[in-house]
Structure 1
């Protein structure tokens, strides 16, 4: 006669889900997803908040302004200290009169003409300062210094 020993489970079958051990690790994938979404939101909105100054702007029916500016005047000083306006050489005595003529031509405009000052790097600083002083005396104050790029930082 054969006898069977009780299985101890009361005839119930033990499945995979009946006795689970608690998970000792935290799943960080949803946390990383939320943090990346927040990072992207802050990256997009931060520049907008920093550059906007709260101003109540008036309404207008005026036409948009034409943004085209006049061609800038090229003023160059070469290594031998010759001064050029455009491609025409100008001596030191006639420079003030020429600058006055440029300033008078721009008297009625809202945006005065800009001056692109190109000076050789080997000339004396005093020469450039004198030319800038003459530009200022004539009322031409929108001066841009033209330089070349450098591969190394100073």
Structure 2
């Protein structure tokens, strides 16, 4: 039985192609992972669809108005007076404060307008209406 000659030592080979494959896999994994982190914690509702929408993620409050007229701040039920009080406090702390209103598509249009009017009456002038992208 012949053993290897200890004087002839090959340097270890560095396999770069599998390492590049793993790096691309990690890149795709983190890209897809961060796409799902953008989703806000909100109550599931049926939003109306619109084709010309823009994504605005700078909002401080996300207010959901369900079909029965109940109000939710992020994922907690809230009444209108507490919502307006918290919005005023946040407006005083942050001059770029904005509210995104997510209203169910089957809700009465008058209820949404009444909510917008009360928010504007509280001094909040930056707000938006959330829609589904329709794609």
User: Scaled by the length of structure 1, what TM-score is found?
Assistant: 0.45
**By how many angstroms is 1:96 displaced?**
2.8
**Largest Rg, 1 or 2:** 1
Show structure 1 runs of 4+ deviating over 3 A.
none
Out of 82, 93, 98, the residue aligned to residue 114 of structure 1 is 98
Structure 2 unaligned blocks of 5 or more: 1-56
Question: What corresponds to 2:75 in structure 1?
Answer: 87
Alpha-carbon RMSD across the aligned residues, in angstroms, is 2.1
For the structure 1 residues 150 and 98, does the alpha-carbon distance in structure 2 shift closer, same or farther, using more than 3 Å as the test? closer
Structure 1 unaligned blocks of 5 or more: 1-68
Measure the CA separation in 2 of the matches of 1:109 and 1:89: 23
Residues 76 and 117 in structure 1, CA contact (< 8 A), matched pair in contact too:
yes
For the structure 1 residues 108 and 73, does the alpha-carbon distance in structure 2 shift closer, same or farther, using more than 3 Å as the test? closer
Aligned residues: 79
The DSSP-based 3-state class of the residue aligned with 1:99 is helix
**Which structure ranks higher in relative contact order (CA pairs < 8 Å, sequence separation ≥ 6)?**
2
